């Protein structure tokens, strides 16, 4: 802190008011004011009505479907992401760069495109749907479909969070542990895991947040049956189409609250990890 | 480096890496490659002639035009915003700086559907500014301005989050030297800063473009999905898919998929340059 204050540069560089003014104006107009509009409209509803909307069986069911599917998708991606990050940083093999690039596909591919592709792929005449349906497993129009869509769109977050940390991890520690006779799994648990844990948790938190809000990929494959596969974001959308603006605002506010809490958690994890690193 | 040392160490199973690499390939093939390949397989299921007919359908062409227009307006705006934000945050210390960084990241963690609802509650007929807009005969929702605003919201962080970490890492010595030597503000930016950040800026702009042309949830709230008027390409794809014109939907989707693949190629090229 004192060091930072001591080297604090005098403002020799130009453009402070211009750049900050532009930034604040844009953030206010495009990001803050619309979000405040949601909060104000939500406040207009009043606590009793708000509670009635949220505690309605259909809303609760939609929130339960969303949270369950997002949690399961995140658990899968936590382990898949860890595996991918490990394989991509620790081993050399043919096709590594392509595998690495593929991790960004869910990020770059529009969610609606992912949605129709997953739906057709797992429907009764799709590549995966045909054998699965033959085995009596239905993915499309079930909770499994919701989980699958959320999994696809949140694939990059865990991999990309862990990768840079694994790359920076000093291999000398692992080699020392190995020399001392530690078995590979013990090395992973005692040396590697503590180092990547903050990134792993932060990445999983972002993946979870992304899954909670996912819409485009889910609506096609979910079938959107109320109480079964209807997600909260879709219910908010349906309320809008029914001109029930209060209903939409209340559900959106709950989702916004979830998103902000998760954003805070992920920032906190990374902040604490950064402070821990500086302290070492 | 570590790979060599670790794999030759005694006591470590040789089979473990092979197993993990194999598992990584299988899972990625199932969960990433298959959905990607399926798009093209399905788009060309009826052959080239059908594909071309689907792509040149007037409604699809209009959707492509509208989506291009959105990208052409939104991307430069967000590039300018990203540069301004990165310059302010990386080059100066001011109270609330950390908060500003979090605020810029908000669209990244908020569902696009919520973004759409926020805008509807602000500019819609029952929104906060609704009565005023109606009195002045201004239409933002269910029209182009609404689509632009929501797309700006959703893509706002993309350029800033690529450029900001780079500018922070590079420090400001070169720029300070330029100022000391008498360079003016824009000269410092265009001759010193811009060459240093150009690749990050390009990548941010490319990501922003991909996200802008593919935006679905937020736009579906504010566009009103008027056929031939406010249907962007993702909305047109939804329409065709729900109309059971699956081949047409996948043909239209293949254009957006090509854009996504171009993004990845550009990213790979830029990373190998670093």
pLDDT of residue B15: 86
Cβ atoms B96, B262 nearer than 8 A: no
The stretch A9-30 carries a mean pLDDT of 88
Q: What share of chain B in percent tops pLDDT 70?
A: 95
The stretch A110-119 carries a mean pLDDT of 97
Q: What are phi and psi of A244, to 5 degrees?
A: -90, 80
Q: Under 8 Å CB-to-CB from A280, ≥6 apart: which residues?
A: none
pLDDT of residue B274: 65
CA atoms within 13 A on the CB side of A195: 19
Q: Any idea where the domains of chain A sit in the sequence?
A: 15-45, 46-279
pLDDT at B39 over 50: yes
**By C-alpha distance, which of B157, B263, B165, B258 is closest to B207?**
B263
Distance to chain A for B22, nearest Cα, Å: 10
The domain defined by A46-279 carries CATH number 1.10.3720.10: yes
Average pLDDT of every residue of chain B:
90
pLDDT of residue B271: 81
| Helical spans, DSSP H, in A154-224 | 155-168, 171-179, 184-187, 193-213, 216-222
Q: Would you call B117 and A236 a contact, using CB atoms and an 8 Å cutoff? A: yes
A 212-251 → B contacts, CB under 8 A? 212-216, 220, 233-234, 236-237, 240, 245, 248-249
pLDDT at B52 over 70: yes
CATH topology of domain B58-273: MetI-like fold (1.10.3720)
Confidence of residue A98 (pLDDT cuts 50, 70, 90): very high
Cβ atoms B165, B90 nearer than 8 A: no
pLDDT at A3 over 70: no
pLDDT in tens, B201-243: 998 999 999 999 999 999 999 987 777 788 999 999 999 999 9
Average pLDDT of every residue of chain A:
91
pLDDT of residue A10: 54
Distance CA B113, CA B105 (A): 16
pLDDT of residue B29: 97
Q: Would you call B119 and A24 a contact, using CB atoms and an 8 Å cutoff? A: no
Top pLDDT among B263 and A120 is at A120
CB proximity B93 to A under 8 Å: yes
Taking contacts as CB-CB distances below 8 angstroms, the residues of chain A near B221 are: 237, 240
pLDDT at B252 over 90: yes
Q: Any idea where the domains of chain B sit in the sequence?
A: 58-273
pLDDT in tens, A137-170: 999 999 999 999 999 999 999 999 999 999 988 8
Distance to chain B for A119, nearest Cα, Å: 9
Nearest to B35 among A114, A249, A260 (CB): A114
CB proximity A164 to B under 8 Å: no
CB proximity A185 to B under 8 Å: no
pLDDT of residue B272: 81
- Render the burial of B150-177: b for 16+ CB within 10 Å, e for the rest: bbbbbbbbbbbbbbbebbeeeebeebbe
| Two tokens, residue A181 | 């006779």
Taking contacts as CB-CB distances below 8 angstroms, the residues of chain A near B89 are: 23
pLDDT at A264 over 50: yes
Q: State how far the alpha carbon of A187 is from the alpha carbons of A179, A181, A201, B8, in Å.
A: 11, 10, 20, 16
Taking contacts as CB-CB distances below 8 angstroms, the residues of chain B near A108 are: 207, 210, 259-261, 263-264
pLDDT at B8 over 80: no
Confidence of residue B10 (pLDDT cuts 50, 70, 90): very low
Q: Under 8 Å CB-to-CB from A88, ≥6 apart: which residues?
A: A96, A99, A100, A103, A159, A163, B24
Confidence of residue B253 (pLDDT cuts 50, 70, 90): very high
pLDDT of residue A11: 64
The stretch B166-176 carries a mean pLDDT of 90
Distance to chain A for B30, nearest Cα, Å: 9
pLDDT at A4 over 70: no
B 55-74 → A contacts, CB under 8 A? none
Lowest mean pLDDT among A2-16, A67-81, A181-195, B119-133: A2-16
DSSP labels, B60-129 = HHHHHHHHHHHHHHHHHHHHHHHHHHHHHHHH---TTHHHHHHHHHHHHHS-HHHHHHHHHHHHSTTSTT
pLDDT of residue A148: 97
Cβ atoms A13, B176 nearer than 8 A: yes
Burial grade of A71 (CB within 10 A; 0-12, 13-18, 19 or more): middle
The stretch B26-40 carries a mean pLDDT of 97
Distance CA A228, CA B223 (A): 28
Confidence of residue A279 (pLDDT cuts 50, 70, 90): low
Taking contacts as CB-CB distances below 8 angstroms, the residues of chain A near B34 are: 121, 127-128
């Amino acid at each position: 802190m004192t060091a930072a204050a001591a080297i604090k540069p005098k403002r020799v560089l130009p453009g402070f008011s211009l750049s900050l003014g532009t930034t604040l104006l844009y953030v206010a107009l495009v990001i803050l004011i619309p979000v405040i509009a949601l909060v104000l409209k939500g406040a207009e509803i009043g606590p009793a009505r708000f509670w009635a909307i949220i505690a309605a069986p259909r809303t609760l069911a939609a929130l339960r479907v969303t949270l369950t599917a997002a949690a399961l998708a995140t658990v899968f991606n936590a382990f898949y992401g860890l595996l991918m990050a490990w394989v991509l940083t620790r081993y050399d093999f043919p096709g590594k760069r392509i595998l690495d690039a593929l991790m960004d596909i869910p990020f770059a591919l529009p969610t609606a495109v992912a949605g129709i592709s997953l739906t057709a792929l797992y429907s009764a005449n799709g590549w995966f749907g045909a054998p699965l349906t033959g085995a009596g497993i239905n993915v499309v129009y079930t909770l499994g479909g919701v989980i699958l869509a959320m999994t696809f769109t949140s694939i990059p977050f865990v991999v990309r969070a862990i990768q840079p940390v694994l790359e920076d991890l000093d291999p000398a520690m692992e080699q020392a542990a190995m020399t001392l006779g530690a078995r590979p799994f013990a090395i992973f648990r005692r040396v590697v895991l503590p180092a990547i844990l903050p990134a792993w948790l932060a990445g999983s938190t972002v993946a979870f947040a992304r899954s909670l809000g996912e819409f485009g990929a889910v609506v096609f494959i979910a079938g959107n049956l109320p109480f079964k596969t209807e997600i909260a974001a879709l219910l908010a959308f349906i309320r809008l189409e029914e001109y029930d603006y209060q209903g939409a605002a209340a559900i959106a506010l709950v989702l916004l609250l979830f998103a902000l809490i998760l954003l805070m958690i992920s920032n906190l994890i990374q902040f604490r990890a950064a402070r821990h690193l500086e302290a070492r | 480096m570590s790979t060599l040392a670790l794999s030759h160490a005694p006591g470590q199973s040789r089979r473990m890496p092979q197993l993990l690499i194999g598992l990584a390939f299988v899972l990625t093939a199932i969960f990433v490659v298959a959905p990607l390949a399926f798009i093209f397989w399905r788009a060309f299921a009826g052959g080239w002639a059908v594909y071309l007919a689907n792509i040149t359908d007037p409604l699809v062409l209009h959707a492509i035009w509208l989506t291009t227009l959105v990208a052409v307006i939104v991307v430069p705006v967000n590039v300018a915003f990203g540069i301004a934000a990165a310059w302010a945050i990386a080059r100066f210390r001011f109270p609330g700086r950390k908060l500003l960084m979090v605020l810029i990241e908000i669209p990244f963690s908020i569902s696009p559907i919520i973004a759409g609802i926020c805008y509807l509650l602000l500019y819609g007929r029952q929104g906060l500014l609704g009565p005023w807009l109606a009195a002045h005969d201004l239409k933002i929702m269910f029209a182009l301005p609404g689509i632009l605003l929501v797309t700006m919201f959703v893509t706002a962080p993309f350029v800033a989050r690529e450029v900001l970490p780079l500018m922070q890492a590079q420090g400001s010595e070169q720029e300070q030297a330029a100022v000391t030597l008498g360079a003016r503000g824009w000269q410092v930016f265009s001759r010193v800063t811009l060459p240093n950040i150009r690749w990050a800026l390009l990548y941010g702009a490319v990501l922003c473009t991909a996200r802008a042309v593919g935006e679905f949830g937020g736009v579906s709230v504010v566009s009103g999905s008027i056929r031939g008027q406010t249907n962007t390409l993702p909305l047109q794809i939804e329409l065709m898919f729900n109309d059971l014109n699956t081949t047409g939907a996948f043909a239209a989707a293949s254009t957006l998929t090509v854009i996504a693949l171009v993004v990845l190629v550009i990213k790979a090229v830029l990373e190998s340059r670093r």
